[in-house]
Amino acid sequence: MKISARNDLKGTIKSINFGPISASLVVEIAPGIEIASVITKESAEHLELAPGKEVHAIVKASSVMIGVD
């Protein structure tokens, strides 16, 4: 399936933590560049997410803000 979300960043799961409802994970998309994600625990289990697994970090363009120093 192709998806309208314009940000699809391939990477590898570095770490994942599970709570009773949510799971928090960190994906390394390039050396030294990491993306943090929070999804439901149910999705994380369904997708069998674990450290080392190759995944995509996907973000809708309207969820991206811009900062300027």
Q: Which residues pair with 10 in a beta bridge?
A: 56
In the complex with a second copy, the residue whose CB is nearer, 40 or 51, is 40
- Judged by DSSP in three states, 42 sits in helix
Shortest separation between residue 51's beta carbon and a second copy, angstroms: 13
CA distance 32 to 43: 26
Which residues of the chain form contacts with a second copy (CB under 8 A)?
1-9, 17-25, 27, 29-30, 33, 35-40, 42-44, 47-49, 53-69
Least Cβ distance, residue 50 to a second copy (angstroms): 11
Cβ neighbours around 57 below 10 Å, total:
19
